[in-house]
């Protein structure tokens, strides 16, 4: 996402939050309580404004906080075999060719931020920033306060609607209040539903100490295990629900709802207890069938073409007509007749193409020839004159459709004149004896 477009999206998001939060208080709740400050009004609105303030605070921290990048010239400690992950193919430390530097565990390259992000979860367009190691806690708290604040908002507006349900609503409230009630329902309900579903997924991932990218990896690993390609592998960063939450929100439960800095540096992570396998050997596991043999030495073929004659000899035509054409093509020379290397390939007998493999049985009922192994019927080519003759016969058999013309038999004189040679008739005509 571009810099200008990202700022526009952030501005629209802030505008939506502000509209839902303050239009409901100014145009719905305030007139409902008679436009006077009271204990009941403060009891209703103070908790709501505290939730909105925490929501905006955590949202702003998500936007401005650097998710964490890889320090310059950082290199993994390969001697201790800790604190680094390896490539699936070579077994060496993970290296980002775009950033031209090594990648710590759980770090990934973001094409939008154009750098590697520590413990990258995903790139969020609504905050115009990556959700990574240093702002993941702010993002979780932002989702939580959105869920609570929108629920509180819907309860307030619904109470206002139920308060006047038995009365004439247009007499009790003005048209402006009615319009804003409709607008608040239309804008708040979709946010409550979509963000709520999104929050459930991230809360579940938080309990398992899993990022969105690692969730995709776990799905792929589950597929490999289900297909029997690899044995069951434990996710190495799952420390238990309590410790998983502490790794993101801090160790003090009283401060989980307040913005805090996560512990650690994001370059090294604690492994699950009892896991005797190093992370580079256990996660993410590789598909043994998809890894090429690294010992194989690639050699170029002697010819730059896969098949010197241009045709794969193992390909077989699917129909009898194409097989027959293939047989004829086998006898075609690759050079013209005037070439010095031309050799007469010879031609197969045409009758041999109409063998029993192509046409086997004749179906008298349908009048066609049936080919062995075929699911349908293949009609032998018929002469056009024969087709026309059959068509005329079938049309002529319909009563009253055509009047058949039967020529009269020729007379004896005509028969005799027809038998007379043409030269004699011309001589007679010249002599004046010809009958006009």
List the catalytic residues.
124
Gap between the Cα atoms of 48 and 25, Å rounded: 10
Alpha-carbon distances, residue 345 vs 232, 284, 330 (angstroms): 62, 60, 9
How far does Cα 150 stand from its chain's mean position? 33
Gap between the Cα atoms of 30 and 150, Å rounded: 18
Alpha helix stretches (DSSP H) within 208-306 = 212-226, 241-249, 279-282
Gap between the Cα atoms of 430 and 378, Å rounded: 62
Q: Which residues pair with 93 in a beta bridge?
A: 86
Helix (H) or strand (E) holding 201: helix 175-207
Gap between the Cα atoms of 185 and 204, Å rounded: 28
Token pair 């058999």 is at which residue? 397
Is 211 strand, coil or helix? coil
Gap between the Cα atoms of 53 and 21, Å rounded: 10
DSSP 26: I
**Taking the CA of residue 384 as centre, how many other CA atoms within 13 Å lie in the half-sphere pointing to its CB?**
0
DSSP 254: G
How far does Cα 5 stand from its chain's mean position? 25
Percentages helix, strand, coil for the chain (3-state, rounded to 5) are: 45, 5, 50
Gap between the Cα atoms of 422 and 426, Å rounded: 6
Gap between the Cα atoms of 101 and 90, Å rounded: 17
**Taking the CA of residue 66 as centre, how many other CA atoms within 13 Å lie in the half-sphere pointing to its CB?**
7
């Amino acid at each position: 996402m571009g810099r200008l477009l990202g700022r526009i999206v952030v501005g629209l998001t802030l505008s939506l939050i502000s509209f839902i939060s303050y239009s409901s208080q100014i145009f719905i709740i305030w007139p409902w309580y008679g436009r006077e400050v009271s204990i009941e009004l403060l009891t209703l609105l103070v908790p709501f404004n505290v939730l909105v303030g925490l929501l905006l605070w955590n949202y702003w921290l998500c936007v401005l906080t650097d998710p964490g990048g890889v320090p310059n010239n950082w290199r993994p400690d390969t001697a201790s075999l800790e604190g680094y992950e390896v490539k699936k193919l070579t077994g060496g430390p993970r290296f980002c060719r775009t950033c031209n530097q090594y990648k710590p565990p759980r770090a990934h390259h973001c094409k939008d931020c154009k750098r590697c992000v520590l413990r990258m979860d995903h790139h969020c367009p609504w905050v115009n920033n990556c959700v990574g190691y240093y702002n993941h806690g702010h993002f979780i708290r932002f989702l939580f306060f959105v869920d609570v604040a929108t629920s509180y908002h819907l309860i307030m507006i619904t109470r206002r609607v139920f308060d006047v349900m038995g009365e004439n609503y247009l007499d009790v409230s003005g048209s402006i209040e009615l319009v804003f009630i409709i607008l608040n329902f239309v804008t708040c309900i979709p946010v409550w539903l979509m963000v709520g579903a999104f929050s459930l997924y991230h809360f579940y991932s938080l309990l398992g100490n899993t990022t969105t990218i690692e969730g995709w990896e776990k799905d792929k690993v589950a597929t490999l295990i289900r297909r029997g390609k690899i044995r069951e592998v434990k996710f190495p960063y799952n420390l238990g629900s309590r410790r998983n939450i502490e790794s993101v929100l801090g160790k003090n439960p009283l401060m989980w709802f307040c913005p805090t800095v996560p512990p650690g540096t994001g370059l090294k992570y604690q492994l699950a207890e009892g896991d005797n396998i190093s992370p580079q050997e256990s996660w993410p596991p590789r598909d043994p069938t998809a890894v090429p043999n690294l010992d194989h030495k690639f050699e170029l073929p002697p010819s730059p073409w896969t098949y010197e004659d241009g045709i794969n000899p193992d390909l077989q035509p699917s129909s009898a007509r194409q097989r027959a054409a293939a047989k004829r093509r086998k006898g075609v020379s690759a050079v013209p007749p005037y070439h010095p290397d031309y050799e007469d390939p010879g031609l197969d007998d045409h009758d041999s193409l109409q063998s029993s493999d192509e046409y086997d049985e004749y179906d008298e009922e349908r009048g066609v020839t049936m080919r062995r192994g075929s699911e349908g019927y293949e009609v032998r080519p018929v002469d056009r004159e024969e087709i026309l003759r059959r068509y005329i016969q079938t049309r002529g058999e319909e009563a009253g459709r055509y009047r058949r013309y039967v020529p009269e038999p020729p007379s004896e004189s005509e028969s005799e004149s027809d038998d007379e040679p043409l030269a004699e008739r011309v001589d007679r005509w010249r002599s004046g004896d010809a009958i006009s």
